[in-house]
Amino acid sequence: MSQGQSTIDPSRRLEPDTLWNRLLEQTQFALDCGALQPIPTDYEYIEQGDVRFLVRIVSNLARKAKAKKQQDDRSQKARKDFNPFLPYEKNLFVTDISPTHLCLLNKFNVVEHHLLVVTRHFEHQETWLTQSDFEAMQACLQQIDGLAFYNGGTEAGASQKHKHLQLVPLPLMPDGTRLPIETEIDRTPFDGHVGHIPSFPFRHAIAPLTPDTDAETVLKTYYRLLQAVGLLDGEPTSVEQTAPYNLLATREWMFVVPRSKERFDSISVNALGFAGALLVRDDVQLQRLKLHRPIDILAHVANMEKTSGTNDRSS
């Protein structure tokens, strides 16, 4: 058995065509017992260009903030590789995905049925994704038509040190639209296997996938995108990432954007922001968002200059 792998109880292993039902059943159980504590939100749409951004307005983040402080206090008292997910809260457990990854409910979810795809042993959130990460991601996407995403580092919106991808089911929009940015993706020209969204004035790259793309091919696509945005020159030479970034993926595409800042003013932005879904804490932040406009805010927290070619490292 390779390092970082564990044996799995066969009764807990992910089987074909079972993830969605397991998710629904565990969600109801976790709600009933109080383990799952959704954060209520209102929402508005803000249009800029041809993108209609979904902006959720949070009504109460106090519970999440309190839980995060308690977790930080425990982390300071524990060893440096303190794992915030393991031992995980058993009432949030959905399934074992593989010998290296398991699936949990996001305790303080804003989006319904928000899943965490977590490494079974401690790996840092600021290490490159691996083939086993993509095997777990693809296993989930094959069963749930969703948006997978990764916040690579604090400046990219990561709130936990332990490596975890996340997945939210599609459609993401309350009106049934899959994702705010998909119309822009449909218009994207591709040079070889990498494209750039013309209306996004910041460094990024996108590449096509198919629903049955194997994890090894997904990994190669990931490296290609990292090269296109200047985060890699070839394949990684160490496990640590070279800079913060966000990754988003569906069954049809993968999108990478380097990050320079975690927030604009007091407005935090994670990977979902680049899918067209932003979160604000109150009306004051909402008005700031309207004033400064979503795409401009994304440009502020990303790298402003578009990529001009593969391995362009200017910033």
Residue 6 within any structural domain of the chain: no
Convert the pLDDT of each residue in 10-47 to its tens digit.
Answer: 767 899 999 999 999 999 999 999 999 999 999 999 99
Domain assignment of residue 235, yes or no = yes
pLDDT at 123 over 80: yes
CA distances from 25 to 28, 88, 92, 117 (A): 5, 18, 11, 18
- pLDDT at 311 > cutoff 50: no
The token pair that represents 246 in the structure block = 């966000």
Among candidate residues 183, 162, 225, 157, the one with its CA nearest the CA of residue 50? 183
225, 257 Cβ separation under 8 angstroms: no
- Res 306 pLDDT > 60: no
Q: What is the DSSP letter of 262?
A: S
Tokens in use for 70? 């308690």
Report whether pLDDT(307) > 50: no
Structural domain that includes position 109:
15-301
Label the pairing between strands 51-58 and 277-280: parallel
- Residue 39: which region, alpha, beta or left (left: phi > 0; alpha: psi -120 to 50)? beta
How high is the pLDDT of residue 73? 54
**Is 191 part of any domain?**
yes
Contact of 254 with 209, CB cutoff 8 Å: yes
How many CA atoms lie less than 13 Å away from 228 in the CB half-sphere?
24
**191 closest CA partner among 275, 273, 297, 312:** 312
C-alpha–C-alpha distance, residues 65 and 63, integer Å: 5
Q: Which two tokens stand for residue 74?
A: 């425990």
- Residue 3: is its pLDDT beyond 50? no
The verdict on residue 73 lying in a domain is yes
DSSP 302: B
- Number of domains composing the chain: 1
How do strand 115-119 and strand 101-105 relate by DSSP bridges?
A: antiparallel
Per-residue pLDDT reduced to its tens digit, 273-290: 999 999 999 999 999 999
Contacts of 288 (CB under 8 A, 6+ apart): 265, 266, 267, 280
Residue 192's pLDDT is what?
75
Q: Does residue 241 lie within any of the structural domains?
A: yes
pLDDT in tens, 156-181: 999 999 999 999 999 999 999 999 99
**Which CATH number is 150's domain given?**
3.30.428.70
Q: Is residue 286 situated within a structural domain?
A: yes
Q: Tell me the CA distances in angstroms from 181 to 123, 197, 247, 255, 311, one per residue in order.
A: 31, 9, 14, 11, 25
Say whether 207 sits in a helix, a strand or coil. strand
- Residue 4 maps to a domain: no
The whole-number pLDDT of residue 190 equals 87
In a domain, 111, yes or no: yes
Q: Tell me the torsion sign for CA atoms 255, 261, 266, 268.
A: positive
